[in-house]
Structure 1
Amino acid sequence: MSVPIDRRNAILTILENMDYAEVSYLSKKFNVSEMTIRRDLEKLEKDGELIRLFGGAKLKTKRVYEGTIEERLSTNLLEKQKIAEEAIKLISDGDVIAFDASTSALEVSKRLRGFESLTVVTNNLSIAVELSNVKGVATILLGGYVRGKSLSTIGASLHQYMNSIFIDKCFISSKSLSFENGLTDSTIDEGEAKQAMIHKSNQVIVLADQKKIETVAFFQVCESNEIHTLITNEDIDMLPEIEESLENFRSNGTNVIIAR
């Protein structure tokens, strides 16, 4: 894409789904020099479309609604707690585990008590605070740009740090899950952070209440066959399409756990 106006419009489209984009990322995306991207960002900032930050930019005004961390914490809380009770059973002493920025993962972290030796890798600031004084748990907070909506870190530095880490089990949630489309999220930057964890993990454990199943969001995090274990909640009024989806996961080799 060599026409500046088209490239700038495309940059704005990307920022609709990313809280922050680095110059290096946009340079590779459009196959142009970083200097060209900086000129684009300067023009867009003058037009009032975005704010330039160190090494990148973000939209001046976010045009799509995303629930606050407070709203997400209170949504389907009972289901998340039941799922977390099952998830904790999969953790063993000596494990290196990863948690994403989800509130479901936060619920699991609240139950990390009584272990002698665990290493936790996370981009979730709330989890880092939760575990800061927990005996037997060493916590690694991944660096990067701080995303206020989810109190998480994102960006290229997170990926670079993940390259040197090997994880036994990662606990991931997301906006949507379906057998056909796998795990999907509403924002690229959150989705890419989850991908970085998944690619370095021996086991991928997805935490998803039934309201997320058989729905699809904007960005694919991983395919169904990459999910080793799926933990969801029990629902006496389970829809036929959700029941079929869970059976498809089982038939494909995923361990499906129903939290009761």
Structure 2
Amino acid sequence: MADQIEHDEAGAEAESRQSRQEARQNAITDAVMAAGTIRIADLAERFEISTMTVHRDLDELESRGLLRKHRGEASALSTVLVESSDVYRASRERSEKESLALAALELIEPGSAIMLDDSTTALQLVPHLQAKRPLTVITNTLTVMNELRSMTGVTLLGLGGQYYNWCSSYMGRITTAAISELRADMLVMSTSAITDGVAFHQTMETVDVKRAMFDSASRRILLADHTKFDKRALHAMQPLADFDEVIVDAATAPHHVDALRSAGVNVSIVPRTRTHH
């Protein structure tokens, strides 16, 4: 009995240590991305950890393609990779993305054809789609394809093209040509950044695919957590007023919501946590 208690305590301690490490690495990533370049010694001082610990964290983050360590400094990778790395995006605002996805789920009708983009927010929707079967899902994202390929009652249309590893997706002229031949009942997508009521992305390839999806869907739903309003990206994709519905989380600043509504955007707000039935 005592051995079991010690084993449980050791397991809990290891889990807690891993959780702290993950939180610290997320904070380090945010600090580096905000600064562009930051000295390792400054990171150690800011987070009150040893330089050895900083080096270990940076080595792991570098191996995941999130930043670069060089000559006593840590640097963010190009803005494109920072914005688009699916590894980084998937680790951020998980509960908010889950809430947004469940709100979108309520809008999907069984028997319909839906398009899903390469966003990690839309990916949160995938495990819940079984509740809406039969369903046709159209996507350019390999991660979504892998999740749905064995789900009975779902007809999966995978869009090919040139494969981009940083977002686990197919893009390019082949992809957009395939999209133009289809017609979906609904598009569920997210965006990298929102500026002055417009959805922006960092790469033109991403914009081309999302515009093609937008044009091929009867109803367009945009999911955006509150962090999208604080980010910047290069290429305008679409004004939010053109979407049939924009769903944001409760942490979105009221002035952002007010500005969107003043511009004629149909905005819905979901709480941070939702219970799905």
**TM-score computed with the length of structure 2 as normaliser:** 0.65
The equivalent position to 2:86 in structure 1, one of 69, 81, 104, is 69
2:104 is aligned to 87
- 1:116-140, Cα deviation, whole Å (9 max, x unpaired): 3111010111001111111211111
Q: Is the 8 A contact 1:100 1:124 kept in 2?
A: yes
Q: Percent identity?
A: 25
1:67-216, aligned counterparts within 5 Å? 67=82, 68-178=85-195, 180-213=196-229, 215-216=231-232
SS at 1:90's partner residue?
A: coil
Q: Is the 8 A contact 2:116 2:138 kept in 1?
A: yes
Q: Is the 8 A contact 1:181 1:220 kept in 2?
A: no
Q: Is the 8 A contact 2:115 2:184 kept in 1?
A: yes
SS at 2:130's partner residue?
A: coil
2:71 is aligned to none
2:262 is aligned to 248
The equivalent position to 1:223 in structure 2, one of 231, 239, 257, is 239
1:258 is aligned to 270
Matched, 1:232 2:256: no
Letter in 2 for 1:234: A
Pair 232,181 (structure 1): closer, same or farther in 2 beyond 3 Å: closer
Pair 84,159 (structure 1): closer, same or farther in 2 beyond 3 Å: same
Q: CA deviation at 1:181?
A: 4.3
Pair 146,214 (structure 1): closer, same or farther in 2 beyond 3 Å: same
Higher helix share: 2
Q: Take 2:78 and 2:256, find their aligned partners in 1: how far apart are those partners?
A: 32
Q: CA deviation at 1:85?
A: 1.1
Q: CA deviation at 1:114?
A: 2.7
Pair 241,215 (structure 1): closer, same or farther in 2 beyond 3 Å: farther
Pair 224,114 (structure 1): closer, same or farther in 2 beyond 3 Å: closer
Q: Take 2:101 and 2:121, find their aligned partners in 1: how far apart are those partners?
A: 7
Q: Is the 8 A contact 2:257 2:267 kept in 1?
A: no
Q: Is the 8 A contact 1:210 1:242 kept in 2?
A: no
1:10-89, aligned counterparts within 5 Å? 63-64=78-79, 66-67=81-82, 68-89=85-106
SS at 1:114's partner residue?
A: helix
**TM-score computed with the length of structure 1 as normaliser:** 0.70
1:20 is aligned to none
- 1:18-74, Cα deviation, whole Å (9 max, x unpaired): xxxxxxxxxxxxxxxxxxxxxxxxxxxxxxxxxxxxxxxxxxxx8545233222111
Q: CA deviation at 1:242?
A: 1.7
Give the number of aligned pairs: 194
Q: Is the 8 A contact 1:214 1:245 kept in 2?
A: no
Considering only CA atoms, is the larger Rg found in Structure 1 or Structure 2? 2
Letter in 2 for 1:80: K
1:21 is aligned to none
- Segments of structure 2 that go 5 or more residues without pairing to the other structure are 1-76, 273-277
SS at 1:129's partner residue?
A: helix
Pair 63,104 (structure 1): closer, same or farther in 2 beyond 3 Å: closer
- Segments of structure 1 that go 5 or more residues without pairing to the other structure are 1-61
Task: State the Cα RMSD in Å.
Answer: 1.9
Q: Take 1:65 and 1:163, find their aligned partners in 2: how far apart are those partners?
A: 26
